[in-house]
Amino acid sequence: MASLDIFNDNAFGVTELTLAMEQASIPAQPLTSLFQHDGLRGETFFLEQQADGALDLVPVSAVGSPPKYLGRSRRKVMNFSTFHIKVADVIRPEEVAGVRAFGSETELKQIQDLVNEQTIKLRGSIEVTHDWHRMGAIKGQILDANGDILVDLYDEFNVTKSTFDLDLTNNATDVKRKVTEMQRLAQAKLLARGKVVTGWRALCSPGFLDKLSLHPDVRARFADASPEMNLRTSLTGFDLFGVRWDEYSVGNRTEAWIADGKAYLIPTVKDLLIGRFTPASYMSTVNKGKGRPMYAITEVLPKEAGVEVEVQSRPLFICTMPEVIVELSA
């Protein structure tokens, strides 16, 4: 019969638990593919903003090495710190006491399975929180779980939010002309900074996508299209006017993450949406390379009351040019 002493085994170290958690097959969150992710060795990363507003990533340098010289043009270096999020659960002694060596499985293997089940469940909460922060980066304000503003990107970059009304309630609206107009507005801002747009993606509330797909101008343009071009045969979305329009209906218990009748037009541009991760605040992760998306650890509680299983992440997701993402109204 297993006891809490089994948690002293190397199998329950940070590295082993983290790798096991990462290897578990969990569907990716919807917004993951929109961001370019990387790990950091420190707690902050830097963006160099030039006089024209263009941004360059500043590489991390070793202690004592020469700095990156910015020259005499009007530039400033902006620094951002990652956030600290963690979630935990407890394995009680009675759960461990019920584990016995049986058949081909050892006690260690069964306890590992028990811990892995907990870390995977906790990982799910962290993954959802990551996507909540990603959505905040797209909308320009990264919010805490209670709605408090953690970072207002419009204030940080001293820019104004871009909005556009597609006027889809008006049956006479030329939708293609409207879409082209808003693309040109965003593209002009990007070209001024030497950025090239390689595509467009729109994240839409269900109500917005319904109004778009049912608009007379849109329906008329696809009247003779083949069945597979039907604009609303699937909830996943459709391609129209050079934009991939996707329904995004994720929300929490009280509200949708994209308000009804709204959408966000996102140009595909290198380093526009980025995610960064720093190492967890454990002694065993110090000087162990770049940060990972999340870490897992176990700790025996005082008086052997149980074992705490914790999953921790230190992420930051930002949009480096928030003014080029356009909030659309139907």
> Are the CB atoms for 187 and 145 separated by under 8 Å?
no
Helical (H) or strand (E) element with 308: strand 307-313
Q: Please state the φ and ψ torsions of residue 82, each to the nearest 5 degrees.
A: -75, 160
231-276 per-position pLDDT tens digit: 555 557 888 889 999 998 876 655 788 999 999 999 999 989 999 9
Half-sphere exposure of 298 (CA within 13 A, CB side): 28
- Cβ-based burial of 154 (10 A; exposed 0-12, middle 13-18, buried ≥19): middle
Reported as a pLDDT band with limits 50, 70 and 90, residue 209 is very high
The answer to whether residue 68 scores a pLDDT higher than 60 is no
CA pair distance 284, 34, nearest whole angstrom: 31
Pairing verdict, β 326-329 and 262-267 = antiparallel
Of all residues in the chain, what percent carry a pLDDT higher than 70?
A: 74
The answer to whether residue 189 scores a pLDDT higher than 70 is yes
CA pair distance 90, 15, nearest whole angstrom: 20
Q: Please give the pLDDT value at position 133.
A: 94
Average pLDDT of the segment spanning 114-119 = 82
Q: Residue 24 has what DSSP assignment?
A: S
Could you tell me the end-to-end alpha-carbon distance of the chain, in angstroms, rounded to an integer? 63
The answer to whether residue 1 scores a pLDDT higher than 50 is no
Tell me the pTM: 0.82
Annotated domain spans of the chain: 4-149+278-314, 160-271+323-329
Residue in 54, 85, 140, 161 with CA at minimum distance from that of residue 318: 140
Q: What is the mean pLDDT of the chain?
A: 80
Pairing verdict, β 326-329 and 295-300 = unpaired
CA 180 distance to own-chain centroid: 28
Q: Please give the pLDDT value at position 327.
A: 96
Q: Please give the pLDDT value at position 20.
A: 66
3-state secondary structure 264-276: EEEECCCCCEEEE
Reported as a pLDDT band with limits 50, 70 and 90, residue 67 is low
Average pLDDT of the segment spanning 188-214 = 90
Q: Please state the φ and ψ torsions of residue 295, each to the nearest 5 degrees.
A: -135, 155
Between these two residues, 301 and 202, which has the higher pLDDT value?
202
Of all residues in the chain, what percent carry a pLDDT higher than 90?
A: 34
Residues 6+ apart with CB under 8 A from 123: 21, 24, 26, 294, 296, 311
Helix (H, G, I), strand (E, B) or coil at 131: helix
Structure tokens at 55: 């941004």
Q: Please give the pLDDT value at position 267.
A: 96
Q: Please give the pLDDT value at position 238.
A: 84
93-108 per-position pLDDT tens digit: 777 665 555 444 566 6
Q: Please give the pLDDT value at position 111.
A: 74
Going by CATH, does the domain composed of 4-149+278-314 fall within 3.15.30?
yes
> Are the CB atoms for 260 and 205 separated by under 8 Å?
yes
The answer to whether residue 188 scores a pLDDT higher than 50 is yes
Residue-wise DSSP of 34-81 = GSEEEE-SSSEEEEEE-TTS-EEEEPP--TTSPPPP--SSS-EEEEEE
Pairing verdict, β 295-300 and 200-204 = unpaired
Q: Please give the pLDDT value at position 103.
A: 45
The residue length of the chain stands at 330
Of 22-26, 144-148, 302-306, least confident by mean pLDDT is 22-26
Q: Please give the pLDDT value at position 134.
A: 95
The answer to whether residue 177 scores a pLDDT higher than 60 is yes
